[in-house]
Structure 1
Amino acid sequence: MTTQAQVHGMSAAQLAAKIVRHEPVFILDVRNENDVRDWSIEGNRVELLNIPYFELLDNVEAVLKQVPLDRAVIVVCAKEGSSIFVAEQLAAQGYRDVSYLIGGMKAWSEHLEPVKIADLKDGGALYQFIRIGKGCLSYMIISDGEAAVIDAVRMTDVFERFAAAHGAVITHAIDTHLHADHISGGRQLAEQAGALYWLPPKDAEEVVFPYEKLEGMSEIAVGRSQIRIEPFYSPGHTIGSTSLVVDNQYLLSGDILFVQSIGRPDLAGKADDWVSDLRTTLYERYKRLPQHLIVLPAHFGKAAELGEDGKVCARLGDLYAANPGLNIPDEAEFRMTVTEQLPPQPNSYQEIRQTNMGKLTPTLEQQRDMEIGPNRCAVHDA
């Protein structure tokens, strides 16, 4: 067998499926150390080894003791080219199961993995779309040939194909807030499908396109079975942040509440103004909701938040018992936590906000570059 025949490509979808199923994965990441430290592939059973490409150019034999010979090895780089070269070198040294990530980290950033959350009471179903390389979570409700998509990312073709495969037409696209860490696909999806696009009006003061106002009096139904989506004003991450209660069972919390953390209030430059809103939402508004609601956030920060079945979700009452961000009784300590103990802000977040307002129209390649990097919408240390 030739060396070339021993090396094969692995798609982002194939790798994501392994991670969602919690299969053991060994990754050799050949990007430079700073890039890997900032953003890498994570999973509950992912083992990652970082050896920069330039160290492997002339002498791959020097690192062979660090790379297991008896395991499948997936080589990862930024765009693909370097990983192919390294995979071929490993194959030439006798490694029998070596693959490279097709499209590199750029492809990893864009893959969406659909997971079914549940069937709904009056018919229909709720699905979660995990953008595993970026930490984004989108949702689709399907009922009687209609679909609503919540917090869609810019890869709108994924939602269109999924809806079509389930015999549904997209009638609503909803954003729970004006996003700052990724480019929303909501407006584009609505335009392509002839659907209504919903956005909280308090987040839309600067947008330059028409939209439907997502606020407390709104009534959004999907399908003849009338699956109700009830908006619930919950400011703090943004001034307009609006959660959604679906089927009296599920709380789509946007970027206000996550499984292991809480939303940050600083991405519009108004952290001091919005801290009290964030605390009121988390410590008063949400606490008045039925505690049996299943929280479905718009992001996850760590691979540990992926459940055994691949879902990212938790019961609201359980979060009040275990989520550190919901257990800071001292207001001054809470303020310090959500304003001074934050991770770095998302890459290009100001330009992303401007794009989501309709004020900028970057090319596809520019959009990809703007989004490169991890999810940074949460107060991870809360």
Structure 2
Amino acid sequence: MTQQQTALQPMTPHDLTQIIFQHEKLFILDVRNQSDYHDWKIEGKGIESINIPYFDLIDGVEPALTHIPEGKKVLVVCAKEGSSIFVAEQLVEAGRSDVYYLAGGMKAWSEHLEPVKVGDLRDGGALYQFVRIGKGCLSYMVVSNGEAAIIDTLRMTDVYTDFASSHQVQITHTIDTHLHADHISGGKKLADQVGATYWLPAKDAEEVTFAYKKLEEGKEITVGNTKIAIQPIYSPGHTIGSTSLIIDDQYFLTGDILFVESIGRPDLAGKAEDWVSDLRHTLYSRYRELSNELIVLPAHFGKITELGEGGVVSARLQDLFENNPGLNITDEGDFRRAVTENLPPQPNAYQEIRQTNMGKIKPSPEEQQEMEIGPNRCAVHDK
């Protein structure tokens, strides 16, 4: 990407992700409808964006030119790509340089996974986080001695198989910490593809239509011959079966129970009042029995500010006990109100997503893509 670009170029979701990770400056002209923009947009520390709908620019881009600063890299964004190419071409013709369009539009942005290394494991191997930056989903791959386990697998399974192939490891386990409601799990699909074992908490699996192995406390899942144990910890609250994982005695995968800046919501299965006490017990009792030095790795992030160095979303458990507002509500009644009232809107198509993850319905790939459009909303304080 040259500073004095004259011809229009695409910017891939990977390119955009790196810009956000590096806190580079970028000006975004989003030409989707206002409602879509306000519901879900591209954000970052160096990102400035405005929304001017495509239909306001069909007859010319003059309404946009006065808002676009000189000397900044400009990215035009739309839902699928076509409208952004048209507008970006007009900007280039109007004399603007360094203009790009987002390849694949927001649909591609929603599906992009960026693998980042979290750290090394003590007896060899490594832990990787796959950041679905456009939707705020996080999944993980544990690699040890030629084998890999994937936790909270997303439906874009090719990303994991390609990564495993490039690292010369075989995927032997896929694990879901709970039955997801905001995105379609790829755990069972990937396990079937590669001959791996698929794990799911039994209490979340009462209605599933397929075979699985019970993820439950007291069991250990070993990856490779170096005994990198994935130790399940029963931690209900977001769902009745939610199960956290301790990996290598140093990493704590909390699923959708605990996030860096918030806590999980208990209402996505319609049982908020029933599960509030479970959620509080998990967060205020069970987690406090664990080592404060564990590195928390959640299944989602709600705000771009939760991305740390290199794009990794993580925090020390002790720091969350001190700074996370959801872990510092001393009165039980106040806690109950906080996690059941004034919650963010529920995730798009979450009931259909739960049905899909149970195997009860089988939407087409296009339907699955549409079901997942928009932000995740699994936290109490996402907005």
Q: One fold, TM greater than 0.5? A: yes
Measure the CA separation in 2 of the matches of 1:249 and 1:340: 34
Measure the CA separation in 2 of the matches of 1:319 and 1:222: 28
SS of 1:286 mapped into structure 2: helix
Measure the CA separation in 2 of the matches of 1:145 and 1:56: 53
Partner of 1:367: 368
Measure the CA separation in 1 of the matches of 2:101 and 2:330: 48
Measure the CA separation in 2 of the matches of 1:183 and 1:166: 26
Partner of 1:378: 379
1:329 and 2:340 equivalent? no
Residues 230-289 of structure 1 show CA distances to partners (whole Å, capped at 9, x for unaligned) of: 000000000000000000001000000000000000000000000000000000000111
1:270 and 2:283 equivalent? no
Q: Contact (CA 8 Å) 2:25, 2:73: kept in 1 or not?
A: no
1:111 is displaced (CA, Å) by 0.2
* Code of the aligned partner of 1:61: E
Partner of 1:110: 111
Partner of 1:280: 281
Structure 1 runs, 4 residues or longer, greater than 6 Å off: none
Partner of 1:45: 46
Measure the CA separation in 1 of the matches of 2:70 and 2:80: 25
Partner of 1:139: 140
1:315 is displaced (CA, Å) by 0.2
SS of 2:311 mapped into structure 1: coil
Runs of 5+ in structure 2 lacking a partner?
A: none
Partner of 1:10: 11
Q: Contact (CA 8 Å) 1:261, 1:378: kept in 2 or not?
A: yes
Write out aligned runs for 1:1-382 (5 A): 6-380=7-381
Residues 68-114 of structure 1 show CA distances to partners (whole Å, capped at 9, x for unaligned) of: 12111000000001100100010011011101001100000000000
1:228 is displaced (CA, Å) by 0.3
1:194 is displaced (CA, Å) by 0.2
1:381 is displaced (CA, Å) by 6.0
Measure the CA separation in 1 of the matches of 2:322 and 2:78: 40
Measure the CA separation in 1 of the matches of 2:131 and 2:64: 34
RMSD: 1.1
* Code of the aligned partner of 2:345: P
Measure the CA separation in 1 of the matches of 2:379 and 2:141: 23
1:46 is displaced (CA, Å) by 1.1
SS of 1:256 mapped into structure 2: coil
Measure the CA separation in 2 of the matches of 1:375 and 1:126: 23
Q: Could you tell me the TM-score, scaled by structure 2's length?
A: 0.98
Measure the CA separation in 2 of the matches of 1:317 and 1:73: 41
Measure the CA separation in 1 of the matches of 2:82 and 2:20: 23
Residues 289-344 of structure 1 show CA distances to partners (whole Å, capped at 9, x for unaligned) of: 10000000000000000012211000000000000000000111111111012000
Measure the CA separation in 1 of the matches of 2:291 and 2:71: 51
Measure the CA separation in 2 of the matches of 1:288 and 1:5: 59
Higher deviation after alignment, 236-245 or 22-31: 22-31
1:5 is displaced (CA, Å) by 6.4
Higher deviation after alignment, 314-323 or 41-50: 41-50
Residues 19-62 of structure 1 show CA distances to partners (whole Å, capped at 9, x for unaligned) of: 11221121110111111000001112211111111111113113
CA 381–154 in structure 1, closer or farther in 2 if over 3 Å, else same: closer
1:362 is displaced (CA, Å) by 0.5
SS of 1:296 mapped into structure 2: strand
SS of 2:231 mapped into structure 1: strand
Measure the CA separation in 2 of the matches of 1:301 and 1:74: 23
SS of 2:337 mapped into structure 1: helix
Measure the CA separation in 2 of the matches of 1:153 and 1:5: 38
Q: Contact (CA 8 Å) 1:341, 1:381: kept in 2 or not?
A: no
Measure the CA separation in 1 of the matches of 2:87 and 2:188: 41
Measure the CA separation in 1 of the matches of 2:246 and 2:313: 17
1:130 is displaced (CA, Å) by 0.1
Residues 137-176 of structure 1 show CA distances to partners (whole Å, capped at 9, x for unaligned) of: 0000001100000001000000001011111000000000
Measure the CA separation in 2 of the matches of 1:296 and 1:28: 33
1:217 is displaced (CA, Å) by 2.1
